[in-house]
Structure formats: structure tokens, C-alpha cells
Amino acid sequence: MKLVILGASGGCGRQLVRQALTRGHEVTAVARPSSSYSAPDGATLTRGDIFDQDFLAQTFAGADAVLSSLGLKVPSLSPFATPEVPDLLSRATPIIVAAMKRAEVKRIIAISAGGVGDSYAWMPGVFKVFIKTTVLRKAYAELEKMEKILLESGLDVCCCRPTGLSDDPATGRARVVTSLKGRAQIPRADVAAWMLDAIERPSFAARGPVITVTGAG
């Protein structure tokens, strides 16, 4: 498949690029103009502004699907911290959708987070407090908006919702859950593998699945 990966320079994005290449996909990795990221051999690295619809439409042309691991950069977990670009997802997502429609690309899988939308009810109590009292409150509000825009776009959409991310090696044990307890975590490598499995199937089994390795309830 021809895959475009947004947020390729991030922790999950790097995993997506590497694993997609290993699986034999044709990969275009998208990074910011200022990024020092260099994509692995075999991937096409494209630098551009995520808010530039023309750039995105050109980048998406001929692709089978878009995978997004874009996420807010936060300087600390302080409730007073301000994300680098606080409206990143609510501003970029409509532009991504419009560019996909221009390029006639119909499928997108994006990383949201466990605790967004209806999955908030499934979170352990401690984590609910964490979401409400730290800078995550701002990040989660943006993820909610991203999900809504994508889910109402008319595109074929999956907003996967991983639990706490780690850089541990892949386990191959990522699964969809509807309740959580204790320390729920998933390695970024497992998130990427789960997303690629999902995009390789002809349709998404769920539109907002919570995925985890540990902490299934």
C-alpha cells in the first residue's frame, strides 16, 4: 500500500515508518520543515507545514491511506503548562480532511488516547484525576475535537486510543479493551503494529477502540 505518515518524527511516527517499510509498504514520511528527522532508507521524506492544504493534497496524491501520529508537544505536566501549539489538532484536522478529499484518499487512522470520548468512563480513577488536573486536560480537549472532526468527515476513519505509551520493545499483545484497571500501558511499537494491521484490513472493526497491552479490566 502507499501510506502517508503524519508526525513521522515522533515516537509512534518513527515506529510506523520503520514497521511499514518492513511490511513492504511504500512510505511517505511527513515532518515539519524545522525537523532534524531523517527517514530510514526506503521511505520518502517530505517536509512541510501541517496547516498547508496545498502541500498536504500534493503529498496525499496517489496514497491509499493516511496514518497520523500528530500530537501536542507539552513542556511539562503542570496544569499551567501551555502546549507549543495549543490548537494543533483542532486546526490541522479540518485541513487534513480537506486535503484528503482533494486527493481522493478515503482512509485515515489517527492516534487519539485512552480516556477520550466515551472511553473516559473506562479509565481507572487515578487516571481520571490525572486527565482532569494536569496539562493533559488541554491535550485531551484537542483530541476530542480531532476525533469529532474525523468521525464527521465522511471518510473511513479509525481514531485508535492507546493507553500510556512506553518505549519498551513490541510485545505483539496489543488488544482492544472496554475496561481498564491498574497500570495500563502499551509500547509505541505495539501501537504502530496495531495501526498497520488495522489499515491492511479492508475496513476498520471499530472507530474509537481503546488499545492496550497491560491493565485490561
Ligand X SMILES: NC(=O)c1ccc[n+]([C@@H]2O[C@H](COP(=O)([O-])OP(=O)(O)OC[C@H]3O[C@@H](n4cnc5c(N)ncnc54)[C@H](OP(=O)(O)O)[C@@H]3O)[C@@H](O)[C@H]2O)c1
Contact footprint for ligand X (CB under 6 A): 7, 9-13, 32, 35, 50, 69-73, 85, 88, 111, 113, 143, 162, 164-165
CA nearest to 173, candidates 119, 115, 112, 215: 215
Q: How far is the CB of 78 from ligand X (least distance, A)?
A: 16
Burial class (CB in 10 A: 0-12, 13-18, 19+), 146: buried
* All cell numbers assigned to 164: 500510556
Q: How far is the CB of 102 from ligand X (least distance, A)?
A: 20
**Toward ligand X, which CB reaches closer, 104 or 137?**
137
**Toward ligand X, which CB reaches closer, 86 or 202?**
86
**Toward ligand X, which CB reaches closer, 162 or 215?**
162
Q: How far is the CB of 202 from ligand X (least distance, A)?
A: 25
What number of CA atoms fall less than 13 Å from residue 92's CA on the CB side? 21
Q: Beta strands 44-47 and 65-68: pairing type?
A: unpaired
Tell me if 6 sits within 8 A of 109, measured CB to CB.
no
Q: How far is the CB of 198 from ligand X (least distance, A)?
A: 15
**Toward ligand X, which CB reaches closer, 112 or 153?**
112
Q: Which residue is nearest to ligand X (CB)?
A: 71
Q: How far is the CB of 196 from ligand X (least distance, A)?
A: 15
CA nearest to 175, candidates 189, 188, 164, 190: 190
- Phi and psi (nearest 5°) for 12? -70, -35
Q: What is the CA radius of gyration of the chain?
A: 16
Tell me if 166 sits within 8 A of 188, measured CB to CB.
yes
**Toward ligand X, which CB reaches closer, 104 or 129?**
129
